[in-house]
């Protein structure tokens, strides 16, 4: 374990409100709390709370919780030691040499080293005689040598073992290459190159590490793109292609594209804030990542129907981040994507397209017209019905009023009539949302208790007392002088709370501070979130010695009660004595 003195200083130098505030827009919610939209799930009403006194956070929506180290683990997709290193670097602190189990960090480093070596090998192969097919393909797609070198593009020859053998010679084991997903294992147990006969796109993170690859075939074979699978170093839903280049720009107007070639074509044309997701639809984490660097985002997806469906989804994912979303309209008869449009019509016409990009609401209202003949009454009614859904989703009354007028004018109806339909939809949505939230919260709460403390539901009085005492110990370590002498571990009814109490008592006996940072090294993320939930739910309560003594007495009483299994197996001869003891407890 890491030295307590180090962790104490680390937390002191990385105040949780400051650290979380660099990821979340926090607003004061009380004398000791701040609140914001949870960075770990999509929500429109803030349920993410930071507690200054305990230096903890808890989301009442998704159950995420912990201390500043746990937050960085989740926000930056790091393991525990990597998160500690991240915060130490932020605070200008040196990591201690002892007490560090960095096995996962070492594996991740080895994967990154293998990826870097592979990227260099692919790059060299592209400019070798064996790579002529790949180089001709990229040049034929309109890329310059300068652009190819800028993005570090490469080529994987049609060989089953060329990369494997080359990296073995550099000291990488088959285990290293399997962990990096550069090779695969056959049914006979041998390993072979995963990428073969493809042009290669290295995926580089914000720190300049090659974290994975995308490989594109040059013909009609399927799959067209083959990407690195999830590894300790690569998580496709937490990274964006070319963000490492885009973030260097002062311009905070970004472009979101579907694929690598679209992004590269736009960068070559001078639109250097273009980024792309990594073979999947945009996710919540990627939207929040973009929001750190961009104020506006133009969605430049393919012009086909699939691209338009993806555009609609992206608008919804980006909305909670506060980024102003716009949509690029590429006429289908002119080009299918940004790459093709730039090739056909050049940089200046593409820039005009960007300038004329519509706001997300205008885009969705235009889409609402699809399939409706506005010359016919039924068509106008259908359009108003679909457009009202778009308007109802707008966050402010002013916006809804303005766009209700736009819809009314377009359909030849009254604005009041449109607004009435909008408000009806909003009421319906509110009722459905509340019902869904209650159902999800109940479901997650039951599921959460089952996984972490399954005995809590059957022992509500004991569990409440246990959680109160655990919260007291975490709120003020001095309460331990009152609690520990009176309360043994065997007095706890639920196994999970008993284990947490045992860990805290062990820290106290050893002269250590039993806080969240201490527990974070000994509990799983889910278990730590449960402890943070205990802190959050007891935060409004006043804790004093009298209340502590009362809870200790209650817990001792509850723990002495026989459970149903004990009663069922009690011999008749002992039954009378058990009943006598129970009656004595009630007096």
Over the stretch 95-117, which tens digit does the pLDDT of each residue have?
887 655 567 778 888 999 999 99
Average pLDDT over residues 52-78: 90
Predicted pLDDT at 45: 84
585 cis-preceded (ω within 30 degrees of 0): no
Sequence-distant (≥ 6) Cβ neighbours of residue 256 within 8 angstroms? 274, 275, 276, 277, 282, 290, 297, 298, 299, 300, 301, 314
Does pLDDT of 584 surpass 90? no
Helices and strands, counts by H and E, the chain: 26, 16
Query: Is residue 55 helix, strand or coil?
Result: coil
Which stretches within 292-393 are classed as H helix?
305-318, 338-355, 360-368, 377-392
Catalogue all structural domains in the chain, each as residue range(s) with its CATH number.
4-91 (3.90.580.10), 104-234 (3.90.980.10), 243-365 (3.40.1360.10), 369-432 (no CATH), 460-586 (1.10.860.10)
pLDDT single digits (tens) 273-323: 999 999 788 988 899 889 889 999 999 999 888 888 999 899 989 988 888
Model confidence pLDDT, tens digit, residues 168-211: 999 999 999 999 999 999 998 999 999 999 999 999 998 899 99
The string of pLDDT tens digits covering residues 503-540 is 999 999 988 888 888 898 889 888 999 999 999 988 88
Tokens found for residue 429: 């949505």
Could you tell me which residue, 545 or 443, shows the higher pLDDT?
Answer: 545
Burial track 293-308 (b if 16+ CB lie within 10 A, e otherwise): bbebbbbbbbbeeebb
CA quadruple 411, 415, 419, 420: dihedral positive or negative? negative
Residues with Cβ within 8 Å of residue 529, at least 6 apart in sequence: 58, 63, 64, 65, 66, 70
Identify the CA nearest to 58 among candidates 34, 78, 27: 34
CB atoms within 10 A of CB 398: 9
Check residue 24 and report its DSSP letter.
Answer: S
The Cα–Cα gap between 87 and 153 comes to: 33
Q: Cα–Cα distances in Å, from 266 out to 74, 248, 270, 578?
A: 32, 16, 6, 80
Which residues face 274 on adjacent strands?
A: 255
């Amino acid at each position: 374990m890491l030295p307590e003195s180090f962790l104490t200083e680390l937390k002191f130098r990385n105040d949780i409100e400051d650290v979380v505030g660099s990821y979340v827009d926090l607003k004061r919610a009380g004398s000791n709390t701040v609140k914001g939209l949870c960075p770990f799930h999509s929500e429109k009403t803030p349920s993410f709370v930071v507690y200054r006194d305990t230096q903890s956070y808890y989301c009442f929506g998704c159950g995420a919780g912990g201390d500043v180290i746990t937050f960085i683990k989740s926000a930056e997709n790091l393991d525990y030691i990597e998160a500690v290193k991240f915060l130490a670097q932020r605070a200008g602190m040196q990591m201690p040499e002892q007490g560090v189990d960095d096995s996962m960090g070492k594996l991740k480093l080895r994967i990154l080293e293998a990826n870097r070596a592979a990227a260099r090998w692919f790059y060299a192969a592209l400019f070798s005689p064996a790579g002529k097919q790949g180089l001709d393909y990229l040049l034929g797609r309109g890329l310059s040598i300068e652009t190819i070198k800028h993005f570090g593009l490469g080529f994987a020859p049609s060989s089953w073992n060329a990369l494997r053998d080359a990296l073995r010679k550099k000291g990488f084991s088959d285990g290293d290459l399997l962990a990096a997903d550069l090779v695969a294992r056959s049914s006979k147990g041998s390993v072979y190159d995963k990428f073969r006969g493809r042009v290669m796109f290295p995926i580089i993170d914000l720190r300049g590490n090659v974290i994975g690859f995308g490989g594109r075939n040059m013909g009609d074979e399927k799959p067209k793109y083959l990407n690195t699978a999830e590894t300790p170093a690569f998580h496709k839903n937490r990274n964006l292609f070319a963000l490492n280049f885009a973030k260097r720009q002062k311009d905070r107007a970004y472009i979101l594209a579907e694929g690598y070639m679209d992004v590269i074509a736009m960068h070559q044309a001078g639109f250097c804030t273009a980024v792309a997701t990594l073979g999947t639809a945009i996710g919540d984490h990627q939207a929040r990542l973009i929001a750190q660097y961009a104020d506006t985002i133009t969605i430049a997806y393919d012009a086909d129907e699939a691209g338009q469906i993806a555009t609609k989804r992206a608008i919804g994912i980006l909305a909670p981040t506060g980024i102003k979303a716009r949509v690029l309209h590429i006429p289908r008869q002119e080009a299918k994507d940004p790459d093709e449009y730039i090739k056909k019509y050049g940089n200046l016409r593409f820039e005009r397209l960007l300038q004329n990009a519509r706001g997300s609401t205008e885009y969705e209202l235009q889409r609402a017209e699809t399939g409706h003949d506005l010359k016919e009454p039924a068509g106008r009614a259908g359009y108003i019905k679909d457009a009202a859904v778009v308007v109802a989703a707008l966050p402010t009354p002013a916006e809804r009023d303005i766009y209700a007028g736009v819809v009314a004018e377009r359909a030849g109806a009254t604005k009041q009539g449109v607004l009435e339909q909008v408000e009806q939809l909003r009421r319906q949505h509110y009722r459905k949302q509340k019902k869904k939230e209650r159902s999800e919260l109940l479901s997650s709460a039951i599921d959460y208790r089952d996984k972490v403390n399954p005995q809590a539901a059957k022992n509500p009085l004991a569990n409440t007392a246990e959680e109160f005492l655990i919260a007291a110990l975490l709120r003020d370590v001095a309460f331990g002088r009152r609690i520990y002498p009176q309360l043994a571990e065997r007095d706890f009814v639920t196994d999970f709370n008993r284990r947490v109490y045992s860990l805290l008592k062990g820290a106290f006996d050893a002269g250590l501070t039993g806080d969240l940072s201490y527990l974070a090294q000994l509990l799983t993320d889910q278990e730590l979130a449960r402890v943070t939930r205990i802190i959050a739910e007891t935060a409004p309560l006043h804790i004093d010695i009298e209340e502590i003594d009362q809870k200790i007495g209650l817990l001792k009483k509850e723990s002495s009660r026989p459970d149903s299994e004990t009663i069922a197996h009690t011999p008749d001869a002992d039954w009378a004595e058990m009943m006598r003891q129970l009656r004595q407890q009630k007096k």
